[in-house]
Structure formats: structure tokens, C-alpha cells
Structure 1
């Protein structure tokens, strides 16, 4: 399992934000994306996950290898915790949700509807979906939002276990998750400001 990114440029709203990004990630490795707010961490993750096209460059990874977790938890409000996990498990052709329930401390909440969970519990459930995808490469955008200290540690252990079994992860976060990881500062890859022509300036 390997993710190779070469000379990648990506845009937000049609405006280039990052240029010539490159890195290699192999089994058991995690990469932390660093940089100030607005630099393009989310845009890069969405491009890597195939949710938007790259402006140029190459992304090489095994087919159907990437699972993406963004700010939205992606839950069905009227389904229970277990039913939500079963829904996603069936989409990814897996069946056992026990590791997901145990890994994110959701066993006692299995029968509760998602709409009756706290923000932190919803976040844990949203992240627990990663464990039913069966996909080796996790793309995670600020995964610890709404999590308390104990839940952040829980999440860190889940990622560490994923890496130990040969998985990989690319994570946009500003905090230490308690495991060894590479770091990629996106500041040097910030796209140069676009030059405006007379036509563009007429609409500013």
C-alpha cells in the first residue's frame, strides 16, 4: 500500500491555492498537514480523496483505498448508533461493527438515536465509520473538533492501531495526537497570487 503525490496543484472555487505539492506515504505511516488557516489543507485532502479534480499533477494510490472524514459527521439522525454503523458497513461490504463500537467507546450508546447524541458523541460516531470501511488510507480533516481530552486520546489510539496494522493516514490538525508522524508544512506550496487583467478588475 502506497500513496504517491507528485507536482500536485489544486484550487478552491476555481482559484489556485496550492502548487507543486509532493510526498510519499507507505503502510504504517501518518502525515500531518501543517499551515495557517486558509492555506488549503481541506482543499488538498478533498483533492487527494478524489472529491474534486486536481489542476495538475499525479496522485497514485491503490483503487478504492481511501476513506475521507470531513467536518460533517454524515449521520442519519433517526437511526441508532448501531444502525448508522451498519448502514455504512453495508455500503463498504463489511458486516462487523463491533470494533467500531468498542474503538470509539460507543457500546453503551449503540441503541441511542444519533439525533439524541451530544456533539462529541456524534463526532465519535462519525469517526467510527472509518473502522467499517476496510480502507487502508484515511484522509482526516480536523478530526478532533468537538472532542474532549479523553475522546482525543481515544481517537489517537484508533489511528495508532490502524497504522500498526499497515494502514496510513493524512491528517489536517493543529494538535498532538500521541503517535509518531511525519509533518508537511504547506506554506512553501502556497500558490502565487493570480494577476488580474482589465476584464477581471472591472468586476472587483
Structure 2
């Protein structure tokens, strides 16, 4: 399942931040978004995920093929790790909870309430949701936040397995994941031009 952006312009708070973004990501490929904080990476990911409409252009990929993981882990503190993953498996229509626990070495924490986990453990549990989602296109915003080096390696292995199975991933990250096969796209060349101000507006700036 391919993901394509065609002359895509995206906005934050009604103000254009990126424009003219065009690419196609085929199955088995990964794309890493680079750019300084505030450059529009999160806004682009949210638009690709269908969570907000583009200003112009279009995104091509079935909505049911996409899954987004942002800064929030998306877990319920009162539920155990296993119960959280079972919940998301039911939401997405089924998924292998055991495989998700194993991928992020959470088997020993399966019956622990998520609220009693460390920040890194919660992040691993949040990322394990991707596996039970069973969707081809992963859209990930700073996925390795709160992860130590071994957990970051777990994540990289999980991404490689997803690509090998015919999935794809778009990731905004400043961390070197060791995914040498991934393409890199700097969003800076797509920075939107500042809107022209008339003289009246300038008098109040």
C-alpha cells in the first residue's frame, strides 16, 4: 500500500507552515523527516494521517491503512499492559497481543498497570500498539522519546520487521535509528512563504 502526497500544503493555527510537499512512499520503505523544532514535521504527519485537512493538495492512501503515534502514549493508566493492548486490538479489529509484548520485551510487565510503569516502559507499550493495529502505514512523531539505547534498538528492529512484511513508515525524529535503508527528507525547502502584510497591519507589529 503506497502513501503519496501531491503538492501538499499544511497549516498550523490557520497559518501555512509547509507547501508543495510531494512524495510517494512505496511498501517496504521508510521516510525520516528532518527539520528544527517548529518547522512543521508534526503538522505534516497529522495531515498525512488524516487528522487534519490540508490547505491544498491531497494525500493518497486508504484511511484504514494508516495509523498515527504522536507524543501521547495512548494508554490507560488503570489497565495492565496486556489489557491496554487487548483494548487497542479490539479497536483496530484484532492483532497479536503476545507478539506486541514480545517485540518490546514487555512480557514480564504484562500484568502491571500502565500507571505503575516508568516513562520508558509506557513509551514501549504505546509503540506496541502499532503491532496490534495491523495497519500498513505507520506515521510516527518522535517515536523514541523517553527510550534508552536498548529500547531504541527494539524499536528499530520492529520497524525493520514491519518494512520486511511490506509495511511502510514515516517518522519525524532527531535520533539516528541506524535505519540506513530509510530515505531522509528535510522539510526546510518546503517552508511556506510569509503572507504579505499591508501597511495597516505593519503599524501594529
Task: Please give the TM-score of this superposition, normalised by the length of structure 1.
Answer: 0.97
CA deviations over 1:96-145 (Å, ceiling 9, x no partner)? 30110000110000000000000000000000000011100000000000
8 Å Cα contact 1:20/1:189 also seen in 2: yes
State the 1:196 CA deviation. Answer: 2.2
Name the count of aligned residue pairs: 204
Q: CA RMSD in A?
A: 1.2
Name the TM-score, length of structure 2 as normaliser. Answer: 0.96
> How far apart in 2 are the matches of 1:96 and 1:64?
18
Change in Cα spacing, 1:52 to 1:199, as seen in structure 2 (3 Å) is farther
Structure 2 regions of 5+ residues with no counterpart?
none
> How many Å separate the matches in 2 of 1:163 and 1:2?
12
What secondary structure is seen at the aligned counterpart in 1 of 2:64? coil
Give structure 1 stretches of 5+ with no counterpart.
Answer: none
**Alpha-carbon distance in 2 for matches of 1:20, 1:82:** 42
Residue in 1 that maps onto 2:39: 39
State the partner residue of 2:187: 186
Correspondence list, 1:43-192, <5 A: 43-179=43-179, 180-192=181-193
